[in-house]
Amino acid sequence: MARFTTLYSGSSGNCAVFEEDGRALLVDMGRSARCTKTSLAELGIAPEDLGGILVTHEHSDHVAGLKVFLKHHHVPVYASQLTLDELARQQLVPPTAELIPVDGETIDIAGFGVSAFPTSHDAADCHGYRIASPKGKTLAIATDLGFVSDEVMANLYLADIVALESNYDVHMLMTGRYPYYLKRRIASKNGHLCNEESAAAVTKLVQTGCKNIHLCHLSSENNLPELAMQSVREAFLQAGIVPQQDCVVRAASRYEISPVCAV
Ligand SMILES: [Zn+2]
Ligand SMILES: [Zn+2]
């Protein structure tokens, strides 16, 4: 059985784990190494069980814990070549870190089949990941994207578990205290997904058979879990989808481990 959850998720830090039979991959590490290790231990996962850390992009909410963690544990880091270059240039990883590019083909990481796909975001070269477990269960994760491109959608389809960002509520963002330029940046094609955009993508995925949806990377300033879930409920209602029966949708917790999804 494969297990997926987020250790923490949101603008204050992101980390997800996909595990099967004692081997695990992490996606990002945006809070401290200590906090990440404590959460992993709660799930019964030791640093030695990690086959790799996949990095989506170099923003601090995705890599803040990486440098300290890698000083104490030898775990290879996977990302696009441009992202790896950026991690090295900004000294976000120690010089001794093992950095392996994942551009192009599906590669084998500790028995997991991993492929990266580009997402539209204001980073050097942001990517999401589609991961097949050794026993063939699939996770697709896309957490920082200004819009859902056809390529992103193609990578999310028919995954057993989809983790998709639902970053902001349009009304909260527009009436909130962020300066205008930042509001524009977040809402742009290189920013983040709003709840309605995420709900529309989720609806299509559930209509094609996805049973497990994890709404991720909710903004602390511009969103609430209830609003993200409400957008999905409204989209499902219009499409005639029955939540809990046709699929399980959860909003990820900001600081805690979210309920584990096992497939
Ligand atoms: Zn980002
Ligand atoms: Zn982010």
User: Which ligand has the minimum distance to the alpha carbon of residue 61?
Assistant: 2
Whether the model pTM is above 0.85:
yes
Cα torsion angle, 106, 109, 112, 116, sign: negative
Ligand number nearest CA of 146 is 1
- Residue 26 pLDDT exceeds 90: yes
Give the pLDDT confidence score for residue 250 in this predicted structure.
96
Q: Model confidence over 182-218: pLDDT tens digits?
A: 999 999 999 999 999 999 999 999 999 999 999 999 9
CB count within 10 Å of CB 37 equals 19
What is the whole-number distance in angstroms between the Cα of residue 235 and the centre of ligand 2?
25
Q: Which ligand lies nearest to the CA atom of residue 122 in the structure?
A: 1
Q: What is the mean pLDDT of residues 219-231?
A: 97
Topology of domain 2-257, per CATH?
Metallo-beta-lactamase; Chain A (3.60.15)
Distance 240 CA to ligand 2 centre (A): 32
Query: Can you tell me the distance from the alpha carbon of 191 to that of 216, in angstroms, rounded to the nearest whole number?
Result: 15
Q: Which pLDDT score is estimated for 103?
A: 87
User: For residue 242, how far is its CA from the centre of ligand 2 (angstroms)?
Assistant: 30
Name 140's Cβ contacts closer than 8 Å, sequence gap at least 6. Answer: 128, 129, 130, 131, 155, 156, 159, 161, 162, 163
Distance 146 CA to ligand 1 centre (A): 10
- Ligand number with the minimum distance to the CA of 123: 1
- Please report where in the chains the tokens 């300066």 appear, as a residue: 179
Q: Take residue 75 and report the two structure tokens written for it.
A: 């775990």
- Going from the Cα of 57 to the center of ligand 1, the distance in angstroms, rounded, reads 7
* 69 closest CA partner among 93, 43, 88: 93
Burial of residue 108 (CB within 10 Å: 0-12, 13-18, 19+) is exposed
- pLDDT tens digits for 93-152? 999 999 999 988 999 999 999 999 999 999 999 999 999 999 999 999 999 999 999 999
Q: What confidence score (pLDDT) does residue 59 get?
A: 98
Place of tokens 């580009």: 118
For residue 245, report the distance from its CA to the centre of ligand 2, in Å: 31
Number of DSSP helices (H) and strands (E) in the chain, helices first = 9, 14
Distance 169 CA to ligand 1 centre (A): 17
Candidates 124, 123, 102; CA nearest to 54 is 102
pLDDT on residue 246: 82
Who contacts 123 (Cβ-Cβ below 8 Å, separation ≥6)?
57, 58, 59, 83, 86, 144
CA–centroid distance, 154 to ligand 2, in Å, is: 22
The closest of 22, 39, 188 to 112, measured between CA atoms, is 22
How much is the pLDDT for 221?
95
Average of per-residue pLDDT values in the chain: 97
What average pLDDT does range 248-261 have in this prediction? 96
Q: What pLDDT does 243 receive?
A: 81
Q: Tokens in use for 147?
A: 């819009």
Count the residues in the chain.
Answer: 263
Neighbours of ion ligand 1 (CB under 5 A): 59, 144
Residue 249 is predicted with a pLDDT of 96
pLDDT, position 68: 98
Name the residue with tokens 């057993």: 160
pLDDT at 256 over 90: yes
